[in-house]
Amino acid sequence: MRGDGAPSRVYAPELGEPGSTLVLSAEESHYLVRVCRARPGDRTEATDGRGGVASLRLVSVAGGVEAEVEASSRTTRRRRAWVLCGAPEGSRADWLVEKLAELGVERWQPVDCERGAWTRATGRVERWRRLAVAGLRQARRCHLLEVMDPAEIGTALVGVPEGAAGWLASREGAREVGRSDPDRVAVGVIGPAGGLTAAEEGGIQALGFSRICLSDGRLRTETAALAWSVWWSMSG
Amino acid sequence: MRGDGAPSRVYAPELGEPGSTLVLSAEESHYLVRVCRARPGDRTEATDGRGGVASLRLVSVAGGVEAEVEASSRTTRRRRAWVLCGAPEGSRADWLVEKLAELGVERWQPVDCERGAWTRATGRVERWRRLAVAGLRQARRCHLLEVMDPAEIGTALVGVPEGAAGWLASREGAREVGRSDPDRVAVGVIGPAGGLTAAEEGGIQALGFSRICLSDGRLRTETAALAWSVWWSMSG
């Protein structure tokens, strides 16, 4: 294993019970064998992305990795954040999705707005899901970023959990907002590159969302989404 | 001009006095004419990236943009931050540099460390400088991110301004660090993808740098650099 002082962690949607054999996917096997240079007998961890973590002992690495589950544990998500994000310019969302996964955001919800809709590029959501797994591995988390299909902003807002603390990224918002309440799901709404309309902003505020100003400059959509997530992450 | 409710802002290293004629570069002309669809008679702003802002009236747009300087003003930088950053994996720094420019960071200093040196790719620093200008335009700032050539980390640390408040991104650092002191230059050090050595960390702390933990997960180099900059930006 790479000598960076901490065990690697891979993703396996079904972990199985201690004593059972876990067969890793081609992608996770590649990561362990090619990137981490794992060998039979090495120990590592796997997570199901839903709070489960299994300690593994690698049995064979030829072809794909097979490992024995030595122990397992489960934790619940301590803090929850959803990002409802309008379309940025170009393919700028890819980098963003990976970063949100690293920061521990729970759900990535692309939203279609009046001044900006997500293009339905083939394979985009699948690519985001791979990037979410990469971020999970990188940050050694046990909860996977949930990648949603794009939805109308109104539909997405209706699906926000009851009792959530809603935030609307806005240059007219407050600069001093303190911390995010750890007992409530934090929901950040970020407009598309073309901005939200006054009607959209009014509707979001009518739902009880507070405006938050993330910078003294005008941020791009993906920068604002990341800044909001960092603010949330550092509030924990 | 684009109907997004605010004037565009372009970059011109030398603004000239009110009454004089300003000739914009090919890149800035392209931005105004092709992206903002500017026409003769339109008004816009230019900054020299050193705090100067000029109000412009476009005289001609064929070939390159020529504009009359109608008024000018100058402001000093209210808050200052330097990012000393080790090499991330691949070309992940490009996106980062643009984001630091948007957030208003003063200086980008890539640092070579024992476990990671920047490759001297041809044109990389020039590309970063173009991205810094793009970030300046986007955020409508009047101070340009200063892009430095990569330097040894020891050399870079010697060049930190006296009285600076130094921060070392570290998972062992404090989660609750409050805000950045607005009266001191904030300097953030972020290790390369391979991490800093214990000796490097010790040396940085001996210079009075405080350790700051930016997430409950293990962040990639570029994510940590961005998170530190967001923290600094939101402290303002």
Average pLDDT score over residue span A152-181: 91
Nearest to B129, CA basis, from B111, B112, B108, B150: B108
Q: Which residue of B has its CA nearest to A137?
A: B218
Output the pLDDT for position B179: 81
pLDDT score of B120: 80
Same domain, B93 and B56: no
A115 by Cβ neighbours in 10 Å (0-12 / 13-18 / 19+) ranks as middle
User: Residues A58, A39: contact at Cβ < 8 Å?
Assistant: yes
Q: What would the pLDDT profile of B69-109 be if each residue is shown by its tens digit?
A: 999 999 999 899 999 999 998 878 999 999 999 999 999 99
The mean per-residue pLDDT over the stretch A130-140 comes to: 94
In this structure, are B95 and B25 located in the same domain? no
Output the average pLDDT for chain B. Answer: 92
- Closest-CA distance, B154 to chain A, in angstroms, reads 22
Q: Is residue B2 part of a domain?
A: no
The answer to whether A103 and B224 are in contact (CB under 8 A) is: no
Q: How many domains is chain B built from?
A: 2
Structural domain contains residue A153: yes
> Which pLDDT belongs to residue A209?
96
CB atoms inside a 10 Å sphere around CB B117: 16
Over residues B97-108, the pLDDT tens digits come to 999 999 999 999
Mean pLDDT over A150-158 rounds to 96
Q: What length is written for chain B?
A: 236
Look at residue B4 and tell me if it is in a domain: no
Taking only the tens place, the pLDDT of each residue in A26-58 is 999 999 998 889 999 999 999 999 999 999 999
With cut-offs at 50, 70 and 90, classify the pLDDT of residue B7: low
Minimum-distance CB partner of B218 among A139, A215, A231:
A139
If you measure CA to CA, which chain A residue comes closest to B5?
Answer: A195
Tell me the residues of A at the B interface, defined by beta carbons under 8 Å apart.
4, 6, 95, 99, 102-104, 138-141, 175, 194-195, 214-220, 223, 226-227, 230-231, 233-234, 236
**Shared domain check, B23 and B110:** no
Same domain for A202 and A96, yes or no, is yes
Q: What percent of chain B has pLDDT over 90?
A: 81
pLDDT at A77: 92
The pLDDT tens digits for B148-176 are: 999 999 999 999 999 999 999 999 988 87
Residues B137, B106 contacting (CB under 8 angstroms):
no
- Domain final residue pick, A74, A108, A130: A74
Tokens of A57: 């002992």
Q: Which domain holds residue A214?
A: 81-234
Please answer yes or no on whether A219 and B103 come within 8 Å at the CB atom: yes
B119 and B229 share a domain? yes
A4 pLDDT more than 50: no
Q: Which residue among A74, A93, A123 closes a domain?
A: A74
Same domain, A54 and A85: no
pLDDT tens digits, B176-188: 777 888 889 999 9
pLDDT band at B52 (very low <50, low <70, confident <90, very high): very high
| Residues of chain A contacting B104 with CB distance shorter than 8 Å | 215-217
Count the neighbouring beta carbons within 10 Å of the beta carbon of residue B105: 28
Q: Is residue B1 part of a domain?
A: no
How much is the pLDDT for B122?
Answer: 84
- Inter-chain Cβ pairs, chain A and chain B, closer than 8 A: 91
**Is A55 in the same domain as A92?**
no
Residue A70 shares a structural domain with residue A85 = no
A69-81 mean pLDDT? 94
What pLDDT score was predicted for residue B3? Answer: 42
Report the distance separating Cα B93 and Cα B99, nearest Å.
10
First to last CA, chain A: 31
Compare all CA atoms of chain B with the CA of A177 and give the residue at the minimum distance: B234
Question: Which of A17, A51, A74 is where one domain is finished?
Answer: A74
Interface test with B, best of A230, A231, A232 (most B CBs within 10 A): A230
Q: Is residue B95 part of a domain?
A: yes
Within 8 A of B138 by CB-CB distance, chain A residues are 217-220
Give a yes or no: residue A1 inside a domain: no
Chain A contacts of B216, Cβ < 8 Å?
A: 104, 233, 236
ipTM of this predicted structure: 0.89
pLDDT of residue B2: 44
Q: Do B138 and A103 touch (CB under 8 A)?
A: no
- What pLDDT is attached to residue A2? 44
A98 and A189 inside one domain: yes
User: What is the per-residue pLDDT for B1?
Assistant: 46
Mean pLDDT of A116-131: 92
Q: Which percentage of chain A shows pLDDT scores above 90?
A: 82
CB contact under 8 A, A217 and B102: yes
Q: pLDDT band for position A176 (50/70/90)? A: confident
Reported as a pLDDT band with limits 50, 70 and 90, residue A7 is: low
CATH assignment of the domain containing A137:
3.40.1280.10
Q: Which CATH number do you get for residue B30? A: 2.40.240.20
Looking at the fold, whether A56 and A133 belong to one and the same domain comes out as no
| Same structural domain, A56 and A101 | no
Based on the domain organization, do B105 and B140 belong to the same domain? yes
Q: Rounded mean pLDDT of B204-233?
A: 95
Taking CA atoms, what residue in B is nearest to A79? B216
B6·A104 Cβ contact <8 A: no
What is the distance of C-alpha B125 from the center of its chain? 13
Q: Is A98 within the bounds of a domain?
A: yes
